Amino acid sequence: QKEVEQNSGPLSVPEGAIASLNCTYSDRGSQSFFWYRQYSGKSPELIMSIYSNGDKEDGRFTAQLNKASQYVSLLIRDSQPSDSATYLCAVNPRHAGGTSYGKLTFGQGTILTVHP
Amino acid sequence: DAGVIQSPRHEVTEMGQEVTLRCKPISGHDYLFWYRQTMMRGLELLIYFNNNVPIDDSGMPEDRFSAKMPNASFSTLKIQPSEPRDSAVYFCASSLAGTGDETQYFGPGTRLLVL
């Protein structure tokens, strides 16, 4: 089992729709979760971080975390063509009080295409 | 701030040659990370430093790879000798601990092609 798994995609949604991206992780003790966006030929950039169970909203983006089920998701509302990119889920597998700060494990990414 | 700076942006070399990739982190950041990205394996952490000290190099694929951070503003990743399977995009990232924000800021990457 991979440490971080994402739905393989590619995912295609019409402009204005909600895009739902999912990620599961294997280390139950993980504490920190991140969503990065990577445009083709560019470097990853952070969209959202989430540390506690529940939802975290930032503009059109909502991250959802369920530690009991070991999944984290990203919802993009009112999807725009400019949202077309690869979305990378990243997990810091450190446990509470651990010292592996910043040691992120990335999923393979989900390619999202928003068509007009 | 100029962000994380990497050089060269593109590198084409022949198998067996030495390759040196360079990175300048964001000023004031105390963590520096080296990643490799390929279609097959995705984005992999190779090594990371805290205050210029290597913390975890378990992701370094083999002895042909080495990394150094002689000071807070410069790091190198060296491959010697290079092989075609080393062809990938190599990213450097930096972050600042102690702020509650674990954001890693990535450089533009070095696209390496080993022939």
Task: For residue A99, give Cα distances in angstroms to A24, B49, B97.
Answer: 22, 13, 12
In tens, the pLDDT along A18-53 reads: 999 999 999 888 888 999 999 999 999 999 999 999
- What is chain B's pLDDT, residue by residue, as a tens digit (115 residues)? 689 999 999 999 999 999 999 999 999 999 999 999 999 999 999 999 999 999 999 999 889 999 999 999 999 999 999 999 999 999 999 998 876 677 899 999 999 999 9
CB B16, CB B79: distance < 8 Å: no
8 Å CB contact of A88 and B43: yes
CB B114, CB B21: distance < 8 Å: no
* Predicted pLDDT of residue A53: 94
Task: Name the closest residue on chain B to residue A89, using Cα atoms.
Answer: B43
Bridge-based pairing of strands B10-13 and B110-114 is parallel
* Predicted pLDDT of residue B38: 95
> For chain A, what is the mean pLDDT?
90
Which one is predicted more confidently, A1 or B15? B15
- Distance CA(A74)–CA(A61), nearest Å, equals 7
* Predicted pLDDT of residue A93: 72
CB A73, CB A23: distance < 8 Å: yes
- Distance CA(B63)–CA(B44), nearest Å, equals 17
Q: Is B39 on the interface with A (CB under 8 A)?
A: no
Residue A42: Cβ within 10 Å count: 13
Q: Is B57 exposed, middle or buried (0-12, 13-18, 19+ CB in 10 A)?
A: middle
Task: Name the closest residue on chain B to residue A34, using Cα atoms.
Answer: B103
Q: To probe the interface with B, which of A45, A104, A105, A110 has the most B CB atoms within 10 Å?
A: A104
State the residue for tokens 């989430």.
Answer: A50
* Predicted pLDDT of residue B99: 67
* Predicted pLDDT of residue A95: 54
In tens, the pLDDT along A89-103 reads: 999 876 555 555 667
Q: Is the dihedral of CA A115, A110, B38, A45 positive or negative?
A: positive
**Sheet (strand B74-79) strand order:** B5-7, B19-24, B74-79, B65-71
- End-to-end CA distance of chain B, in Å? 36
